[in-house]
Structure 1
Amino acid sequence: MVVWTRAVVRTWRCRPTNFSRAFSEKLPTPEAKGRNVQWVFLGCPGVGKGTYAARLSKLLGVPHIATGDLVRQQLSSHGPLALKLVDIVSQGQLISDEIVIDLLSKRLEAGEAKGEIGFILDGFPRTIRQAEILEGVTDIDLVINLKLREDALIAKCLGRRTCSECGGNYNVACIDMKGDDGETRMYMPPLLPPPHCETKLITRSDDTENVVKERLRIYHETSKPVEDFYRKRGKLLEFDLPGGIPESWQKLLQALNIYDDDEDKKSAAA
């Protein structure tokens, strides 16, 4: 049985941003810093939840909490939980609700102690049970569901690389595909490392074709219903990624009605 501590419940119950206002207002930077948004990112493994959640976290001044990062921190800690997680992750299996919620609880407690306000969740909830637990303790403002065709997803996952020295994340895959209509083109250029990281790139142990396909199968079976859960509550924003990060980022900001002054400055200087 999962028990949520009082500290965690207080953190999850921080006052939500008015949902309609999130779509009707422009959110200038830096005035947007510290907004008390409570958002969730959904999407298949490898779709880019972490990338876009991290960018929005920086833009809006709220913490980005990725359960995948919490799990990887445990794996690198060599603690008692690490051995159990190694077997689960290496097989592409879904980590139990109890483990995920325990890790998330501790992260929220630590955030509350530091005075954090609001959050952008990435990788939680992944099951109906997790969504129901979350629903019981807070009002999520918005759920952003990132979507990408499966062949592109697999290519992205197989192209992921991490620098063993600095921890930087890169992708060596160059995705150039025609749409189902034979005319629409999807282009995602590789995200290559700087020269000093080129010889230090490593591949995640779970980024093999068999494991990636298994993770996608599990996602469709167990996590897809979460989309319907939030769709019925009028909180789901479906967003089809049109291409690489520059193109997709701008269109995501437009869908969220968010204004990024820094991006405008970059465009003007180009």
Structure 2
Amino acid sequence: MAAVTRFSKPSAISHVRRCLYSSSAVAAESNQHAPSPFGDYKITRRNPSERNVQWVFLGSPGVGKGTYASRLSNLLGVPHIATGDLVREELASSGPIAKQLTEIVNQGKLVSDEIIISLLSKRLKAGEAKGESGFILDGFPRTINQAEILKGVTDIDLVVNLRLPESVLIEKCLGRRICGQCGKNFNVASIDVKGQNGSPAICMAPLLPPSSCMSKLVTRSDDTEEVVKERLRIYNEKSQPLEDYYRNQGKLMEFNLPGDYCSFIAGRAGWV
């Protein structure tokens, strides 16, 4: 809690920014003549001292990327852009690719680079038009190809990689619920894993909805055990090269989430 309080002070935030920029920002060169996979959209490259943070959050499905990223986005005054939310918004809109996305999501497969880039490009364009500066990306990039594409349009300062045991991830995903009326996320799983062999205990109380939402809870179509396990398998297969990619650039910061801190955040911020 003391650490969170320190980060909330403007002077501390400025100090953190300066440290991050000086130690981990790596200039990315782009091919001026090649067409951008983001179409005609190009993020304006700015000197780090003239913009806000540009971070990426990595982690398996269900690890809590959205929880941590949304809290930090409020703290630092930058938008939290979750590609999973962008996909769900497109699914709900009945847009031209909604049917294709439905099949991909229900099978637990990863959405193609082309679709994700199209949705992200649209979101970044809208943000720039509103004067947004900086961002925390959640769910993108997921492959080295996506990371190279992102490098071609902007500079990433820091990559935060969150970790939890697979058994906990499965339990969290199976406990997720959404209110069919208000759209808020809740979790009915009660997780209590005893610490052993040097590993910390992991305790997470359920995040239950108010009585007005209780009868309206629905389970996401992709939150079945079979689909969750397949999503984790695919993620683990793809994640190592991406982690190495950012680790070699000196930008990767890894966190094995301990139970007490995880419970503190989950109980106050909400799970995603």
Class of the TM-score when normalised by the shorter of the 2 chains:
0.7 to 0.9
Tell me which moved more, 61-70 or 135-144: 135-144
- 2: CA distance, partners of 1:210 / 1:17: 46
Gaps of 5+ in 1: 19-34, 251-270
Query: What per-residue deviation string (whole Å, max 9, x for no partner) do you get for residues 2-25 of structure 1?
Result: 63244x3234x243359xxxxxxx
Gaps of 5+ in 2: 1-34, 267-272
Aligned pairs for 1:1-270 (under 5 A) are 3-6=37-40, 8-11=41-44, 13-16=45-48, 36-181=52-197, 184-243=200-259, 249=265
Counterpart in 1 of 2:13?
A: none
Contact kept in structure 1, 2:57 and 2:137, CA below 8 Å: yes
Count of matched residue pairs: 233
Quickly say closer, same or farther: Cα 1:82–1:245, change in 2 above 3 A.
farther
Contact kept in structure 1, 2:204 and 2:263, CA below 8 Å: no
Quickly say closer, same or farther: Cα 1:246–1:212, change in 2 above 3 A.
closer
> TM-score, length-normalised on structure 2?
0.80
Quickly say closer, same or farther: Cα 1:110–1:124, change in 2 above 3 A.
same
- 1: CA distance, partners of 2:173 / 2:152: 34
Query: What per-residue deviation string (whole Å, max 9, x for no partner) do you get for residues 191-220 of structure 1?
Result: 111111111111000000000000000001
Secondary structure of 1:237's aligned partner: strand
Give 1:179 shift.
2.9
Quickly say closer, same or farther: Cα 1:83–1:4, change in 2 above 3 A.
same
Quickly say closer, same or farther: Cα 1:211–1:240, change in 2 above 3 A.
same
Contact kept in structure 1, 2:178 and 2:186, CA below 8 Å: yes
Give 1:182 shift.
7.5
Query: What per-residue deviation string (whole Å, max 9, x for no partner) do you get for residues 141-185 of structure 1?
Result: 100000000000000000000111111111000110123427742
> TM-score, length-normalised on structure 1?
0.81
Give 1:130 shift.
0.3
Give 1:134 shift.
1.2
- 2: CA distance, partners of 1:61 / 1:119: 9
Residue identity opposite 1:205 in structure 2: S
Give 1:139 shift.
1.6
- 2: CA distance, partners of 1:227 / 1:183: 22
Give 1:79 shift.
1.6
- 2: CA distance, partners of 1:127 / 1:248: 31
Secondary structure of 2:220's aligned partner: coil
Counterpart in 2 of 1:255?
A: none
- The ranges of structure 1 where at least 4 consecutive aligned residues each deviate by more than 4 angstroms after the TM superposition are 244-250
Quickly say closer, same or farther: Cα 1:140–1:182, change in 2 above 3 A.
closer
Residue identity opposite 1:103 in structure 2: L
